[in-house]
Structure formats: C-alpha cells, structure tokens
Structure 1
C-alpha cells in the first residue's frame, strides 16, 4: 500500500466556555494508506472526532500538517457518515441518496441510476420509494452510507456510525461495510469507542491517549482481511482486543 494521507505533528487547542485554553490533540502523527480501513479509538474527549473533522476539511484551525498524496477536491473526494443519519425526512430513500449528485452536473437519468445502484449495494432495493420515518435505525444508517458514497469519494470518514444501534444491527452493518469495502476498496477512517468493532473492521488501529490526545500505539490487526463473525470467537481476536482494551485503561 502507498500513503494516502500523512498527519504530521497535528495539534489542536481551543478556548473553553470559561475562556481557558484546552489542548484537544498534541503532536499526532500517523499515516493513512491507500485502500485501507483504519480505526481511531481512545477515551471520550481525546480528539478522535476532532481529528476526523480536520481530515474532512471541516476544521482548519490546527497546528501541524495533513499531507495528502493527492489533495482532495471539496465536495467530491471526501464522504462523511455521522453517528446520526441526518436524512431529510421529506425526501425518499432514492432522493436522499441522490442529494449529493444533484449539483454535480449529472443528468437526471444518471443520478437515478447511480442512486439505485447504491441502494442495491446496501440492501434496500425494495425501499427506494420509502421515507426515513418508515425505516428502522439500521436502515436509515444504510441510506446515510449510500448517500456518502454517491459521488464516489476517494475516502470515507465515519464518526461512530453504528454507535447508536443495537448489538445485532451493529454486527450486521459491520459485515455490510466490509462487503462494501470488498466491492469499492475505498480508503475508510472510522472512529469508534468499541475495541471489538475496531479490531473487526480495520487493517490498522490507532490508539489515542486521554486528553490531550496523543498517539499511544498503532497496531496492525493480526487477523486475516477476509472476516466474518467466526473471527470474533478466535483466541487471536480475543487477545488483540484485550491488548486494545488494556491501552484504554
């Protein structure tokens, strides 16, 4: 793999409501490689989501550097999936997925076909005409993932995308995300509080310390890339999640 993005000595200081200076991130350096899934884990408040927003270009008031192999085009190269799907309730599944394409100069037929292809990819073919209020939480998050992929971004950023879901739905969506990766080979950065989720999804796991967030460790995930639920029952998986859990204590 080649480097897709390198963070070099990244830091973030902000002013609290009381006027004090708070260091959220300090001297953070790591690489994101092309086509890999990388997970960011760490205690609450350690700057994981802040770092994701920096990569997305939503926060540019930081020190250090984000060095892209190919600088991204805003609105084209970066897809973002939030913890809450944030779908437009007055638009159908099809029109929610198509939203990001409507200002990109595509024909109506091209937009519809691209949206339908993605809806098929996330397993919602029979719900293209449904509205968000008619969907379960897991289905709404599938729509959000399809919407983020609509304009074919080079990198997909995911901020605790499955954190609000029940365990069964979360496991199912993790498997679906891996299937999507198998089809697209997108570079994916996912923030999660779950060491099991990080170990199951990622090629590498970046562990951040408590605030101020610093790199505590970077691990290659020691299980094969081809994964299914059975991997969770292996001694190797249990040992690795134990290591991650220990680093968060």
Structure 2
C-alpha cells in the first residue's frame, strides 16, 4: 500500500468534503488466476461523514466489494490512502456484515451476538443487557435461545447485523447483505436497518445491486463505473430522512431511481 499525503485530492473527485474517513486516490491492480494483470479500481475519492448512510452501486465486477474490504482493513494491497479522522482500533471500530450470515451453528442466537463482545473482552459485565437490547431492536427477543438452523434466512441475517453492532463499532460496513433474500423479507430488513440507524446513528456504508434499496436506505448514493471502477457520480438522495414503506410510492423516489438506472446503463 502506497500513501501520498503531500498531494491534494485529484481534480476528478466528485466528493471533496471532510468527515469520519476519506478515500484518497485509491487504485488497485491484482493478478488473475491466468496470470493477467487486472486494473480493478482507479483513482477513487470519497469522504464518509459521521452518522450518514452511503450506498455503493455499480455493475458487477466494478470493485464495489473490493473498496468496502479496503475500508474495513481486510485488504491493504492498494495505491492511495484511506485516512480516518481518528485511527480505528483494530477489530473494534469496524463492524462488517457479509453476504452470508456466517453464524456459528453450535451457538444460540444470543451466543452468536455475544461473540464480538467476548472477543473484544469489553463491557462483559453488560453483555447480557446489550444483547437483549439489540435482539429486541430487530424483533428477535423470543429467539434468543434458538440455534441458527431453526431460523429463517431473514432472521439469520438480522442476527448477523446485530452481532456486528454488539461491540458498538464506529462504522457498519455491509456487503450485499440482503441479496439472497426474497423481496418481502428484504423490505422488512430495510426497515430494520432504518430503525437501527434511528436508535444508534451509526455510520453505515453498504454495497448493493439494488437501485431501489440504495435510494430507500441511503443519504448519498455512490455510482461506480464498469471496471476499472471509478466514481462516476455521488448523489444526495432527494428524500426526507424519515423513510417508510410509503416512501417507495412517492414520485420523487421513482424519479431518483429512474435517474440512477439511467446512469448505470
């Protein structure tokens, strides 16, 4: 990973604000299984503000998940810089929700949620209270003693989300967390995320292939170009923060979704 802190952000950047973290001039190449060099990301610049929700959309293979993993610190092989307003504590300030819940099958729901708290060895005296509060927040209080195999797909993903929140990270990163779910379950989880945000005001950055999902959940939507992934545009969502299922019926919601679809085409 190369850092160049002396240079100013590239003029091509559509985002020049200040906030919780800044992605500055990030590019990435990797070698494919066939030995070919793949230029995955090119000169990406983005600022993430404290307490906002950002959605990243773009065509398959444009580097959305790669960028998310870089922010999480799971990939440090890149050019450029990801600078935090305050350096994150390893494993403590970043919560990550993957496409699959990846719950431990031998642990109960409450045991899975407790895992992060136990690993961090922090607030153990309040772990039961914290777990109970989070499970209530996503409507799973009655399933605390259940095992993952006894839950539906949507319920398992709820557990994965609150597990990532259990140790109170500064930012929650989600990589297509609802992609494998049916439409009804996905809509319910969208409202769970909004309720979590209302309660915690967490900074959230998530990757999705769903334009509607991005428009419904986010404060800003980042549109990436085909590979090599560049920031094609960053749009402020033209909706009040108070979202509900009725939001999807608003003309401005339909217009914004249509505009995003047009950019992706």
Scaled to the shorter chain, the TM-score interval is over 0.9
- What residue in structure 2 maps to residue 84 of structure 1? 100
| 1:51 match | 67
CA contact (8 A) 2:117 2:123 kept: no
For the 8 Å contact 2:72–2:94, the answer to whether it is kept is: yes
Deviations 1:47-88 (A, max 9, x none): 000000000000000001111111111111000001110000
The equivalent of 2:8 in structure 1 is none
In structure 1, the residue matched to 2:181 is 165
Cα gap change, 1:107 to 1:59, in 2 (>3 Å): closer
Q: 1:123 aligns with which of 125, 139, 146?
A: 139
Looking at structure 2, the residues matched to 75 and 65 of structure 1 have their Cα atoms a distance apart, in angstroms, of 19
Which consecutive residues of structure 2, in runs of 5 or more, have no partner in the other structure? 1-16
- 8 Å contact from structure 1 (residues 2, 34) kept in 2: no
TM-score using structure 2 length: 0.92
**Is residue 121 of structure 2 the alignment partner of residue 102 of structure 1?**
no
After TM superposition, give the deviation of residue 11 of structure 1 in Å.
0.4
The equivalent of 2:80 in structure 1 is: 64
Tell me how far apart the structure 1 counterparts of residues 94 and 121 of structure 2 sit (CA, whole Å).
18
Equivalent of residue 221 in structure 1, options 226, 237, 260: 237
* Separation in structure 2 between the aligned mates of residue 146 and residue 107 of structure 1, nearest angstrom: 16
TM alignment of 1:112-191, pairs within 5 A: 112-191=128-207
CA RMSD of aligned residues (A): 1.1
Is contact 1:200–1:227 with CA below 8 Å preserved after alignment?
yes
Corresponding residue pairs, total: 249
The 8 Å contact of residues 173 and 204 in structure 2, kept in 1 or not, is answered as yes
| Alpha-carbon separation, structure 2, partners of 1:46 and 1:55 | 16
Query: Is 2:215 the partner of 1:199?
Result: yes
Does structure 1 conserve the Cα–Cα contact (< 8 Å) formed by 2:138 and 2:192? yes
Secondary structure of the residue aligned to 1:35 is coil
3-state DSSP of counterpart to 1:126: helix
Q: CA deviation at 1:24?
A: 0.6
How far 1:13 sits from its partner (Å)? Answer: 0.3
Cα shift at 1:118: 1.1
2:123 & 2:74 partners in 1: Cα distance? 29
**Which residue, 34, 51, 54 being the options, matches 2:50?**
34
Secondary structure at 1:96 match in 2:
helix
CA contact (8 A) 1:198 1:205 kept: yes
